[in-house]
Amino acid sequence: MPARWRLLADDGARAADGLALDEALMDGYARGAPYRPPTLRLYTYRSQCALIGRYQLLEAEVDLEACSRTGTEVSRRPTGGGAIIMGAGQLGLALVDRAPADKRPREIIEECSTAIVAGLAELGITAGFRGKNDLEVEGRKIAGLGLYVDERGGMLFHASILADLDVDFMLRVLRIPAAKLADKAASAVRQRVTTVTRETGRSYDGAALRDSIRYGFSRTFGAEFEPSVPEQGELARAAVLAEERYRAQSWLGERSVVPDGSGTAVLKTPAGLMRLYLSTHGDLVKSAVIVGDFAELPSAVVQLESDLRWQRLSRDTVTKVVSAAGADQALQVGAEQITTAVLTAGQRAARLATAAPVRSAGSCYFPEQS
């Protein structure tokens, strides 16, 4: 018999509340808990919300003054990836289940993406998985994907699917490299991004995609869906998470950099665009913060942050630290490339450069140009 999954649907979620409920749903899927079928939540946010990825620097991704002027709510996802705009024009997707012990995160993301591809096919759209966490149609991004597995074994797969997109608004509130794009910014974005509305020639909002995406999951996983609502315990947990985490400045600015004289450098890697922020004292590293649009932050990168502290900014020393931490293997680039990025940041710090959040790359829906 087909498995019966729980299906949740809602519209107009606020930034913190929408993310908080997704995490609250994970509580029932810890290792050792009684079995329960997966939960699929298909929902939209209020227009508009700006959501950054788990490992990104808030001030580098979002124009907070523009968000304040436009009433755009801001929060940080527990999943990785880049900054996105969410509202009535985008369908948010959260799949919650117990994490399979025999699959790597990328395998899980690819498997779940197959269901979204099947759903888009119902609308006549041929999409495919590309890069580390993208769905594309003929080279244009139509959805962003992310994954979070908590310490108890619960799994949250996130997706944001573009039914439509107000590109001009996105350019106002996200820090897109406008200096590089000049007056052709909107045109450049549209060359790299597409929507269901654009591909079908019919007007869609996020809610209108629900039936097709649900069908894609049913076809891919052999599931039948039982419409439901969140349990009272889940709602209570979500309310706590919304206040204590997703609206808290400690969460929003979690990876903020030390404001003393600092330098920054950028390195494009197969694992994601890495931005390194150094605070230095003379030729010593006081602190290192590494952020980026990673699908997940490799543990070796966290180790590198720690190991760089109070090391001298010499090529031999930094290369040894990078190799010992395993960051070169985790990011799939040579140790010398990471070393060069560290030394570049150190040189800029020595010239009293600051770690101002100047973008050199785009949002989740507008990654760095190659």
**Residue 359 placed within a domain:** no
Asked whether residue 23 falls in the same domain as residue 110, the answer is: yes
**Residue 366 placed within a domain:** no
Asked whether residue 247 falls in the same domain as residue 312, the answer is: no
Asked whether residue 141 falls in the same domain as residue 237, the answer is: yes
**Residue 288 placed within a domain:** yes
Q: What is the pLDDT of residues 157-209, one digit of tens each?
A: 999 999 999 999 999 999 876 544 556 777 778 888 999 999 999 999 999 99
Whether 320 contacts 339, CB under 8 Å: no
Q: Average pLDDT, stretch 318-332? A: 95
The whole domain housing 315 covers 262-350
Angle of helix 232-241 relative to helix 15-24, nearest 10 degrees, comes to: 130
**Residue 358 placed within a domain:** no
Q: What is the pLDDT of residues 64-101, one digit of tens each?
A: 999 999 999 999 999 988 899 999 999 999 999 999 98
**Cα distance between residue 152 and residue 96, in whole Å:** 13
Q: What is the pLDDT of residues 99-154, one digit of tens each?
A: 998 888 889 999 999 999 999 999 999 999 987 788 999 989 999 999 999 989 99
Residue 354 has pLDDT above 50, yes or no: no
The CATH code of the domain that includes 288 is 3.30.390.50
Secondary structure (DSSP) of 81-130: S--EEESTTEEEEEEEEEPPTTS-HHHHHHHHHHHHHHHHHTTT---EEE
**Residue 355 placed within a domain:** no
The CATH code of the domain that includes 58 is 3.30.930.10
Q: How many helices (H) and strands (E) does the chain have?
A: 15, 14
**Residue 370 placed within a domain:** no
pTM: 0.82
Q: Average pLDDT, stretch 26-49? A: 94
Asked whether residue 334 falls in the same domain as residue 219, the answer is: no
Q: What is the pLDDT of residues 252-308, one digit of tens each?
A: 987 665 555 678 899 999 988 899 988 887 888 888 889 888 888 889 998 999 899
**Residue 28 placed within a domain:** yes
Residue 220: per-residue pLDDT: 96
Q: Please tell me the total count of domains within the chain.
A: 2
**Residue 71 placed within a domain:** yes
Identify the domain boundary among 224, 252, 280: 252
Asked whether residue 184 falls in the same domain as residue 269, the answer is: no
